[in-house]
Structure 1
Amino acid sequence: MVTVFTRSRSVRPALENTFGSVDAVSELREREAVHSLLPLGAARIGLGRKDAEKPYRAPRPAQVAQIASELAEVLDGMEDAELIAPAAVTRHPDHLAVREAARCLGCRWFWEDVAFWPTYAFSGCDRHGVRKAAGEVRYLWNGVWCRAVPQDRVDKVLTGILKEAQPELVVTSQEGAADIAAITRRSCTVAGWLHSVSASGMGVLEADFTSRSPRRSSSPGG
């Protein structure tokens, strides 16, 4: 796993007094990242870049090109490697920069980073194609309708969507992935992108991703 932006002073307001410097926050994130990768036996490479600070601005082409060059060095000798980069749904400049740099290297897979919406959304360029409804945000991204809901409504909204759509597969990521997997695996197969470095994100590894309910497993072609 390659982390492009490893230096930050961004933490939740309640922790600002405890982690009040770039070094303190960066060290905390490093420990979290190392811990999150232990179950996978995966290595982590940090590029040492400082994350963007407000007011956010679009990444400069020179920055994108430099990140692409640094990523290319990491990937040298790994011709069969498949890149997975953030989709930059929320338009955060760090995610935009990494997405565009990955595209320069032929990346075809992008994980949805919509869980960052409450933090980064609704800058001027985010309002297009977005509508608010009953405490949630709905928007169209690359032809796909997306919904962002508060954490305390995820269970109720997800249960309703599962009942209505009856999907064959649900892919989870971000905070609360373990809870989402627990709800979803009652009716369909679940897969998880391991992205979050928090305890709630790591819990998705404990889900039974291959289980299906008797109703779905007995359906023809299910």
Structure 2
Amino acid sequence: MSDKISCIITDDEPYARKGLEGYIEKISFLDLKGSCEDVLQLNSLLEQEPVDLLFLDIQMPLFTGIEFLKTLRNPPKVIFTTAYAQYAIQGFELEVMDYLLKPISYERFLKAATKAKEYFSLKARPGASAAYLFLKVNGKFEKIVFADILFIEGMENYIAIQLKDKRMISYSTIKSLLEKLPATQFIQTHKSYVVGIDKIDRIDGNLLHIWKHQVPISKSLRKVVMETILNQR
């Protein structure tokens, strides 16, 4: 990626497109490559010129933004721009970068754009990795610092992140979150648990003692878990 984030707006409302275009003009690190009124135009434009980021409406003629996004093999990062809050869960299932509800203020748009800038800047650094991630918790994005995580518990389509002073629930899965965690700091001990390796105080049979908590080790993972913990630097 260059110093600027290349982006495309897609919205069937001319007024909405004009508003986003005005916001993008004010942000030096965004480079607008096109403004489309539906996903057919967007698809044609993407075939000609792939971009880093899409500002994508959801409710549009022919295809919704969600339906279109599901058809892409390697989609750009996406920030949804919509008047409908009820699609938020689907958006986060698709791991969109942000979800902006109309009417969108410049302050809120700038916050989302800055998040995108931080993501791409970090991605461009060779060998660099974040020390935190943002997760949706109780309707807000919360910054979760990796070093603060004791363990993570999976509960079907939700996860509980256990910190020393609180427990945070987010709509996600163990598998999805594990892909974002540094492998040198975390290990899966059970189909429903991932633990911070340096947070383990004691191993007692098939239980890990972590501060005031106990986390199970499954039989199928016990060998690799023990080797990882005991050989940790």
Instruction: Return the TM-score normalized by structure 1.
Output: 0.30
Name which structure has the greater RCO, CA cutoff 8 Å, separation 6+.
1
Q: Which has the larger radius of gyration?
A: 2
By percentage of residues, which structure has more strand?
2
By percentage of residues, which structure has more helix?
1
